[in-house]
Amino acid sequence: MENDKSDALAALTRELRECKAENNRLARELRAALRRIDILRLNTDTQFDLTKSITGEKRQQELYFNLMLRLYPDIVFVFDDELKFTIGTQNITDIIDVEDVSLLRGHTLASIVDRYCPSIFTDEMLDAIERVKTGNEKGVENKIDISTEQGQFEVTILSFNMGKGSYSGILAIIHDITEVNLAKEQAEAGNRAKSEFLSRINHEIRTPIHTIMGMTGVAINSDDLEKKNACLDKINTASKHLLDLFDDIMDMSKVEKNKLDLTVNHFDFQEMIHHVVKTLRFKIEEKKLRFDIALDPDIPPALIGDDVKLAQIIVKLLSNAAKFTPAGGTVKLQVRRLQDTAGWVQLMIAVSDDGIGISSEQQTRLFDSFEQADGSNTRKFGGAGIGLALVWNIVTMMGGKIWVESEQGKGAKFIITLRLKKRVLDDDMDEKEPVAKDYSGKTILIVDDMAVNQEIIASMLQDTHIRIYYASSGIEAINLFKNAPQLYDLILMDIQMPEMDGYAVTRAIRALPFAKAKEVPVLALTANAMYADERLSLDAGMNGHINKPVSKKEILLKIDSYLAPLLSI
């Protein structure tokens, strides 16, 4: 009985050990299986994430690459080792009549040339591609310039490899240099024009200076009064020419810097035309030209605008017409009213001649700065080459238009249209040439550092019998006024003086502790006639502005406006 129990217990023990061993084996296998599953899952997830990452990066690279191909400014062709098109920039469509660059993929260079006939692929360019291909080395390069009906191009052709051989294809980079070349040509033309202008201006300045110096010498050495007067006439003419030339240069300089201003004046149109005709009549008659003037009687007499600039452009057009018209020819000035409204009038001003005329090609650069229509005419007729450019700028600033109608050998007609504001005159208003009043007992102080200017102004005021004191510097003027403030009834103040300019002198006088220092009228004498310059004068404490060169009419009118009320005192 005991033996049976022992055998059963041993059998049970063996069975338990076998089950435990089996469980351990199963557990190990299970753990191994789980590990394999984890690794498989890990590998799968990793591969998925890696694939996803690579795909995303590839797509991003493709996006960047396609963006570059669309935005790259130069035209780029990429051909494989068989000269088949593989890829290129989107702007290829600018030179090849194809909607999408991808349509060229797989086409050989020869088939693209045959099918689309792009002018960029000239024989010279095809030969260059063949030379680079034949070179069969990485980095072989060829650069050429090509001109086609589409423009001018700089072409760079080079070979490349993909790392597995000496040659994988051709890269052609086409850079459009049309605008660059055009800008370069324009710059060079501008420099040539300015160089020629400087040469012309040198001649135009030296000629009147030579006349002034020569005639001065003749007059000094002559005892013949008639001969002296003839010399003075020539000196006067040369001086006016020199002044006109200087004014043109200064005005053109202001145009270049956008600083040319217009002034607003009340003026009589017919009087302005009369002044223009008077200025030019001697020159026209000296050349024995016929001068016809046709003024519309319906043009309003009283207008508002820059009459000085308007007279300037008419004088320049008439001077040109006279210069290029042969002796015995005709110069004509015509002014017609085109349109009339309540406050404005539109005028047409035409200057015509029967001179040498202007060709169509010359007309294209007629109004360009520093240019002349024909350089050969400069040598024959003279001129600085800025007159018509200045005329065009002034007319444009006035809101008008100017053009020319001409044929070579058949004369020329310059036409201007512009609008001017009308001025309503009172019934008792009539503008006449001022008459010098008698200002005996009144005193004026002329402040100018140049004795010749003092002398000129004094001669203009001679008939007024006014007493004149002079100051040749700002300090002298301040001291004179400080010592006798009640003596002076008016001060004429030059602006451009050394050490102390007219603005500073005026402020110093106004600051003196005398009642008269605040009241005495001070008028600026200056060649700066811009609105901004007038504003500076007023801000400095001055009462008005007289432009240089000073005219007798203007200075008498200005002085009368301040001194006439004192005559009854």
Joined together, the tokens standing for residue 229 give: 């007067």
- Note whether 46 and 7 are same-domain residues: yes
Domain at 145, CATH number: 3.30.450.20
- Note whether 400 and 300 are same-domain residues: yes
The pTM of the full predicted model, rounded to 2 decimals, is: 0.45
- Note whether 468 and 546 are same-domain residues: yes
In this predicted structure, the answer to whether residue 62 has a pLDDT above a threshold of 60 is no
Q: How many whole angstroms separate alpha carbon 540 and alpha carbon 503?
A: 5
Joined together, the tokens standing for residue 204 give: 């135009």
Note whether residue 287 is domain-resident: yes
Q: How many whole angstroms separate alpha carbon 122 and alpha carbon 313?
A: 52
Domain at 379, CATH number: 3.30.565.10
Residues 6 or more apart whose Cβ sits within 8 Å of residue 152: 145, 146, 176, 177, 178, 181
- Note whether 272 and 404 are same-domain residues: yes
Tens digit of pLDDT for each residue in 24-35? Answer: 676 676 666 656
- Note whether 379 and 461 are same-domain residues: no
CB atoms < 10 A from the CB of 456, how many? 16
Span 191-214, mean pLDDT? 74
Note whether residue 493 is domain-resident: yes
In this predicted structure, the answer to whether residue 386 has a pLDDT above a threshold of 50 is yes
Span 2-27, mean pLDDT? 68
Domain at 197, CATH number: 1.10.287.130
DSSP one-letter code for 564? G
Tens digit of pLDDT for each residue in 228-239? Answer: 888 888 888 788
Per residue, what are the HEC states of 397-462?
A: HCCCEEEEEECCCCCEEEEEEEEEEECCCCCCCCCCCCCCCCCCCCEEEEECCCHHHHHHHHHHCH
Q: Which of 256, 291, 307 is the last residue of a domain?
A: 256
Going by C-alpha positions, the residue among 149, 147, 94 that lies closest to residue 125 is 147
Q: In this predicted structure, what is the pLDDT of residue 444? A: 95
> Do the Cβ atoms of 534 and 525 come closer than 8 Å?
no
> Do the Cβ atoms of 351 and 332 come closer than 8 Å?
yes
- Note whether 62 and 106 are same-domain residues: no
Note whether residue 18 is domain-resident: yes
Query: Edge to edge, what strands does the sheet with 169-176 contain?
Result: 85-88, 75-80, 169-176, 151-160, 141-148
Question: Tokens 């400014």 map to which residue?
Answer: 73
E strand or H helix at 35:
helix 2-71
- Note whether 415 and 459 are same-domain residues: no
Provide the residue range defining the domain that includes 160. 72-176
Note whether residue 429 is domain-resident: no
Q: How many whole angstroms separate alpha carbon 427 and alpha carbon 425?
A: 6
Note whether residue 45 is domain-resident: yes
Going by C-alpha positions, the residue among 313, 350, 346 that lies closest to residue 420 is 346
**What rounded mean pLDDT belongs to the chain?**
79
Strands (E), 161-301: 169-176, 265-268, 290-295
Q: How many whole angstroms separate alpha carbon 536 and alpha carbon 518?
A: 18
Number of domains observed in the structure of the chain: 5
- Note whether 307 and 404 are same-domain residues: yes
Note whether residue 351 is domain-resident: yes
Note whether residue 87 is domain-resident: yes
Q: How many whole angstroms separate alpha carbon 345 and alpha carbon 540?
A: 37
- Note whether 232 and 323 are same-domain residues: no
**Percentage of residues in the chain having pLDDT higher than 90:** 18
In this predicted structure, the answer to whether residue 376 has a pLDDT above a threshold of 70 is no
- Note whether 414 and 468 are same-domain residues: no
Span 375-395, mean pLDDT? 64
| 238 φ/ψ angles, rounded to the nearest 5 degrees | -65, -40
- Note whether 413 and 297 are same-domain residues: yes
Note whether residue 433 is domain-resident: no
Q: Which of 31, 50, 68 is the last residue of a domain?
A: 68
Q: Which of 237, 256, 275 is the last residue of a domain?
A: 256
- Note whether 244 and 282 are same-domain residues: no
Residues 6 or more apart whose Cβ sits within 8 Å of residue 13: none
